[in-house]
Amino acid sequence: MKGIQMKNDNYYFISWNVNGIRSINKKNGLKWIDDDVPSILALQEIKADEDQIPDTLFQHKYNNLIVSSSHKKGQSGVALYSDIEPSYQSPCYEVDTLKEGRINEIHFADIAFFNVYFPNGKRSQERLDYKMEFYEKFLNYIETLRKDGKSIIFCGDINTAHEEIDLSRPKENSKISGFMPVEREWIDKVIDAGYIDTFRYVHGDKSDRYSWWSMRTKARERNVGWRIDYFFVSSDLKEKIIDADILDQIMGSDHAPVTLKLRR
């Protein structure tokens, strides 16, 4: 097997917004995990409680499955599969105050790892306000952990494209939630605080690489997309970054998986 089992000096992480874990199971959309076994598989928007998660997603038996489900049935939800034994785990209600099933927090070694499905602000001004509140609480929370000596890794669907090269039609979307100045400024703030967008660290200003495409307009076929799925690491992990990428050949969701490889 690939991944942590054969490369004990490295961590390998995959993050994916699956847009419904039961739906993707019907498409056999996670079978490829058996060929690419990550140390941690972080899934967002599972739209299921733990007892509704199929046991036929893939054959690999992870040591740990950690789920945070929304109090609203069939919405949001995150799941984290790990072969790393966590010393601490939490749904992080300090940030996910509405208990929408948006965060898995685990600690291992000196690392605090977060699998996050950040709110979408397109529905209403109220949801945009909540998204920005969530952003600020999350950054404050991880900064507190960092001051306590933790290295930080966070991944997931951030629901914002950072720069114009991160979406195919920036001018047309400049007033749409997901690319509004106030949302993009939060990512600036994250980077200014010393967190690294690992895809940009590895690939520089490479354009036309996206992680989400609208299903309504067959945008994926035309690669009219947005890069809204990320792996960020705190700056103390910078020299440990081996690779970060988007698995845009993987189908089954309107999002593509994103990856990160780190030296231990």
Would you name the residues annotated as active-site residues? Answer: 157
**Concatenated DSSP letters of 100-139:** -S-EEEEEETTEEEEEEEPPP-SS-HHHHHHHHHHHHHHH
Look at residues 1, 88, 92, 79 and name the one whose alpha carbon lies nearest to residue 40. 79
The length of the chain in residues reads 264
Task: Kindly tell me the burial class for residue 195, based on how many C-beta atoms sit within 10 Å of its own C-beta (0-12, 13-18, 19 or more).
Answer: buried
Q: How far is CA 227 from CA 54, 89, 245, 246, in A?
A: 28, 28, 11, 9
CA distance 69 to 218: 30
Nearest one of 85, 76, 6 to 38, comparing CA atoms? 6
**82 and 107 in contact (C-beta within 8 Å)?**
no
Token output for 144: 């507190």
Q: Rounded to 5, what percent of the chain is helix, strand, coil?
A: 25, 30, 45
Rounded distance between C-alpha atoms, residue 51 and residue 148, angstroms: 35
